[in-house]
Amino acid sequence: MKPSRTFRHGGIIVNPISEWDQRERVENAFLPNGAVILLKQHAGRQARCVVRRGEYVREGMVIGRADGPLSANVHSSIPGVVRDIRVVALPEGGHAEAVVVALEGSFDRLGRREERYLWTTSGRNEILATLRDKGVVDTEAPGFPLFDLLGESRDIDLLIINAVECEPYLKAESCILRDRASEVMEGIAILQKILTPRRTLVATSRDRQPLLVESQESLSPVENVVLDPKYPQDMPAQLLAAIDGAHGRKGHNATIIKPSTAYAAYEAITHAMPMVERYVSVGGGAIKRPMVLKARIGTRIGDLIEECGGFRNPPVRLVLRGAMRGHSVYDLDTPITKTSSSVIALAAEEVGSQRRSSCIRCGRCRSICPERLDPDMLFRFVERGMIDRAIATGLRLCTACGACGYICPSRVPLVAAFSSELRNLEAPLSEPTGAKR
Amino acid sequence: MKRGKALSMGNAPFAFDKRTSSSLMWGTSAALLPAVAWGLYCFGLRALFAIAASILGALVGETVAGGLRKRFSLLDGSAFLTGLLVGMAMPPGVSPYIPALASLFAVSVVKGAFGGLGANWMNPALAGIAFSLLNWPEEMGAWSVPRHLENLSGLSGATPLAYCRAHAVAASGGAGPMDILTSSGVKFTYTDSSMTDFLNQCLFSRLGADLPGGYVDLFIGNKPGSLGELSALLILASSILILSRKMIRWEIPASIIGTFALLTWIFGGLSYGRDFFSGDILFSLLSGSFLLVAFFMATDPVTSPSSRSGMLIYGFGIGLLVFVLRSFGASAEGSAFAVILMNCCVPALAKLDAATSLRRAARAASEAIGVGE
């Protein structure tokens, strides 16, 4: 029997999973007239604001300084005047300060010939310091700064480039790997220099074929691993399990990085470019022309949607960061952050009936939970306030991947209950994306 | 500012499987229609009355029970399905008040009184069937012969299963159930004899086997019996459909049928004066309501376990009990009571599952801590 190249326990096939098209469009978004730049786009504390109202800022100028561990510098993505510094609500909950910049003056970098810095002669600490300086964070929520993510690890077994996009509507990582392969490869080389991994793997999904990278002379070799599509394969535990399955090995320490993060590292190191833009998948049934846009941080999601032709039919839901694990927003003024991988506008027929009915104990949630939990039982404990029992049966192991919520025929709000309870517990067992094993 | 008219907020996930609980209920009901249609063909209008009365009773029961809880749940399909299943278990000539009362009892008391769909611990349809079997044993035992077989069959007032059971003690010396039927003067249809000949010539002769007459009639449904359980062929076809669409899990029916077939093979011959390992598996599987119960009633998600191991144990228990009840019970038909008895064990099986997941979570948590250090 052919070994299946995916993780073993649970998992679901999310529809429409295979909507990937080789000719997927990628475009540069228009520059925004104004940008709302959040000072908290990373895992740690909000950055300290270093500009005042009325001050002129240049493109790429620091407007927020990192404040403590897991915090990162924030740069202005456009040149202009600071119109306002106000507190806004974050899509994921909570509040943070945002700097509102109105476009004015000229771009220092845009449209000019890019400088190119030689990094191969720089030391590890120098590269890490540059990454910190340029505010490079992991492009996936909650946005761990690369300085913290990579600084601790060295001589690891595996560096895994995670291009497994298994959620519907997410295409940015695949597009980056397709269109910016050489840049991503150089980013990988930079990461290799910091981490000195024994092996480097690029994991892609079979339904996004062919997305194979070629090793270049100057780098230590990069291997392609093609995995069978299954959700949530992009999560650290499942990705490692899938790769273990493909290679028949177990127990290694690995660092997992998305192609977009490697690309941001490349921009920061070779072009001294702060993290002021990112690739965003704009999609969903309510969008007229779904595509991937390279947008400045702080752009309104409404602007991006407009650039995709606006709405085809009225959206019932606006979602940031993916339909399975993202957050719903109600405001088209919500800005893009370093971790906004996608903007999704869902049409009524995609969302379907939301009416909750009673649990019929069909056991579907149990059979698909990738962490082998019993979501129905956990939910009953949480609903009755028996938190101790819920923790004893594994509530803390829940990664809020959303698979049980997807499959539940009674639309029981399983994931909502678990994630709010996990937030209360502040999950001491959760680890950064580059989980070590 | 362009804003959607009714943007709704909420928590992830925002994508869902198309399947809902009510689509499962309606889908299962639809899958049963071929078997019902065969019943209507066999018994005509009086069968239609029985089924309609049963469904009506269930819908009234749901309206009343739902109304008392101030919840409108008529459209979720579960009451319709219960009514349909109760109706399918009725003998064709039954007075309509019996199925109506049975499904009224099933939906309002067995399901509604415990809090509606998802909260009941006993399968409502089977409880309704048991209710009518216990209340009106004579009416429920009045089987009639399908219209197109009236001038053929020697069986008039009994299903093949009941007839063989009644005559099994008298007969001895190795006569199996089918031999009893044949020797009592039951004639099989032309379809049966031609199909049996065909199968024997093309298939079984090459395997060195010989299929005696009668099984094809049993399989197709040319026999007296209740409205919906006649045709094993149609029930199996529907089962394959709902299994392939993953509307039910395979573990429960597989475990029931496997256990029951094994026990029948080993011990089934004894009541006919035969040796061990001589039971007639085919006859036992194809007669009575066994297949309908195994695929459509025992698999009711609400009253069956949620974990794979629980499902296998549950199915094993049902298979065992069906065999015991059919061999030693008061009536020839034991499937309904077997499932009800195993329904009582589901909470205990859930406790087992809870203990298992507790252990698993503790192990996983200790692994996670061990790695963090």
Range in A27-41, A87-101, A205-219, B316-330 with the lowest mean pLDDT: A205-219
Distance CA A326, CA B13 (A): 7
Highest mean pLDDT among A150-164, B182-196, B256-270: B256-270
What's the pLDDT band for A210 if we cut at 50, 70, 90? low
Of the residues B208, B223, B238, the one at which a domain ends:
B223
Average pLDDT of span A333-362: 88
User: What's the total number of domains in chain B?
Assistant: 3
Inter-chain residue contact A317 with B8, CB threshold 8 Å: yes
A381 interface with B at CB cutoff 8 Å: no
Average pLDDT of span A115-126: 87
Query: What's the pLDDT score for residue B4?
Result: 41
Contact B53, B96 (CB under 8 A): yes
Give how far A415 is from chain B: nearest CA, Å.
7
Highest mean pLDDT among A324-333, A343-352, B94-103, B213-222: B94-103
Strand order in the sheet with A291-296: A26-28, A291-296, A277-283, A342-347, A315-320, A327-329
**Would you tell me which residues 330-349 of chain A have a C-beta closer than 8 angstroms to some C-beta of chain B?**
330, 332-333, 344-346
- Are residue B216 and residue B264 in the same domain, yes or no? no
What's the pLDDT band for A432 if we cut at 50, 70, 90? very low
Inter-chain residue contact B360 with A372, CB threshold 8 Å: yes
Does residue B230 sit within a domain? no
Inter-chain residue contact B357 with A360, CB threshold 8 Å: no
B14, B18, B21 ranked by CB distance to A319: nearest: B14
Give how far B196 is from chain A: nearest CA, Å.
39
Contact A144, A42 (CB under 8 A): yes
Does residue B33 sit within a domain? yes
Q: Which residue has better confidence, B333 or A183?
A: A183
B217: containing domain: 164-223
- Best mutation target among A358, A406, A419 (most B Cβ atoms within 10 Å) is A358
Q: Which residue has better confidence, B278 or A43?
A: A43
| pLDDT over threshold 70, residue A162 | yes
| pLDDT over threshold 60, residue A433 | no
**Would you tell me which residues 244-303 of chain A have a C-beta closer than 8 angstroms to some C-beta of chain B?**
286, 302
User: Omega before B13 cis (within 30°)?
Assistant: yes
Q: Compute the residue count for chain A.
A: 437
| pLDDT over threshold 60, residue B288 | yes
Average pLDDT of span B191-217: 84
What's the pLDDT band for B372 if we cut at 50, 70, 90? very low
- Best mutation target among A240, A372, A374, A412 (most B Cβ atoms within 10 Å) is A374
Please state which of the four CATH numbers 3.40.190.10, 1.20.140.10, 3.30.43.10, 3.40.50.11540 is assigned to the domain occupying A124-270. Answer: 3.40.50.11540
Query: What's the pLDDT score for residue A4?
Result: 65
Q: What is the pTM of this model?
A: 0.88
Cα-Cα-Cα-Cα dihedral of A354, A359, A361, A363, to 10°? 30
| pLDDT over threshold 80, residue B290 | yes
Average pLDDT of span A72-98: 92
What's the pLDDT band for B105 if we cut at 50, 70, 90? very high
* Block residue for tokens 């080389």: A189
- Are residue B176 and residue B134 in the same domain, yes or no? no
Range in A17-31, A64-78, B85-99 with the lowest mean pLDDT: A17-31
Average pLDDT of span B323-339: 86
For chain A, which residues make up each domain, given as ranges? 124-270, 364-425
Which chain A residue shows the shortest CA-CA distance from B363? A394
| A397 contacts in chain B (CB < 8 Å) | 361, 364-365, 368
| pLDDT over threshold 50, residue A430 | no
Tens digit of pLDDT for each residue in B232-261?
Answer: 999 999 999 999 998 999 999 999 999 999
| A382 contacts in chain B (CB < 8 Å) | none
| A316 contacts in chain B (CB < 8 Å) | 4, 6-8
Average pLDDT of span A324-341: 92
| A398 contacts in chain B (CB < 8 Å) | none
Inter-chain residue contact A358 with B364, CB threshold 8 Å: no
Longest dimension (CA), chain B: 90
| pLDDT over threshold 60, residue A322 | yes
Query: What's the pLDDT score for residue B250?
Result: 93
- Are residue B196 and residue B122 in the same domain, yes or no? no
A317, A350, A409 ranked by CB distance to B7: nearest: A317
Range in A216-225, A243-252, B20-29, B97-106 with the lowest mean pLDDT: A243-252
Average pLDDT of span A121-149: 92
Does residue B8 sit within a domain? no
Average pLDDT taken over every residue of chain A: 87
Average pLDDT of span A65-87: 94
Does residue B255 sit within a domain? yes
| pLDDT over threshold 60, residue A431 | no
Average pLDDT of span B198-213: 83
| pLDDT over threshold 50, residue A383 | yes
Does residue B365 sit within a domain? no
Closest-CA residue to B292 (of B89, B127, B27, B54): B89
| pLDDT over threshold 90, residue B38 | yes
Query: What's the pLDDT score for residue B156?
Result: 60
What's the pLDDT band for B171 if we cut at 50, 70, 90? low
| pLDDT over threshold 70, residue B154 | no
Tens digit of pLDDT for each residue in A247-288?
Answer: 555 556 889 999 999 999 999 999 999 999 999 999 988 999
| pLDDT over threshold 50, residue A300 | yes
Give how far B362 is from chain A: nearest CA, Å.
7
| B82 contacts in chain A (CB < 8 Å) | none
Query: What's the pLDDT score for residue A401?
Result: 92
DSSP B330: S
Query: What's the pLDDT score for residue B6?
Result: 59
B10, B22, B23 ranked by CB distance to A328: nearest: B10
Inter-chain residue contact B13 with A377, CB threshold 8 Å: no
Give how far B345 is from chain A: nearest CA, Å.
15
Average pLDDT of span B134-149: 85
Does residue B49 sit within a domain? yes
A313 interface with B at CB cutoff 8 Å: no
Give how far B85 is from chain A: nearest CA, Å.
18
Average pLDDT of span A34-53: 94
| pLDDT over threshold 50, residue B301 | yes
- Are residue B339 and residue B271 in the same domain, yes or no? yes
Does residue B155 sit within a domain? no
Left, alpha or beta for A251 (phi > 0: left; psi -120 to 50: alpha)? left
Average pLDDT of span B216-241: 90
B21, B249, B353 ranked by CB distance to A360: nearest: B21
Does residue B145 sit within a domain? no
Query: What's the pLDDT score for residue B177?
Result: 81
| B16 contacts in chain A (CB < 8 Å) | 351-352, 405-406, 411
| pLDDT over threshold 70, residue A303 | yes
Contacts A–B by Cβ distance under 8 A: 178
Average pLDDT of span B319-343: 89
- Are residue B169 and residue B128 in the same domain, yes or no? no
Query: What's the pLDDT score for residue B179?
Result: 80
Inter-chain residue contact A363 with B249, CB threshold 8 Å: yes
| pLDDT over threshold 80, residue A37 | yes
Give me B56's structure tokens.
């009506």
Query: What's the pLDDT score for residue A217?
Result: 56
Query: What's the pLDDT score for residue B106?
Result: 95
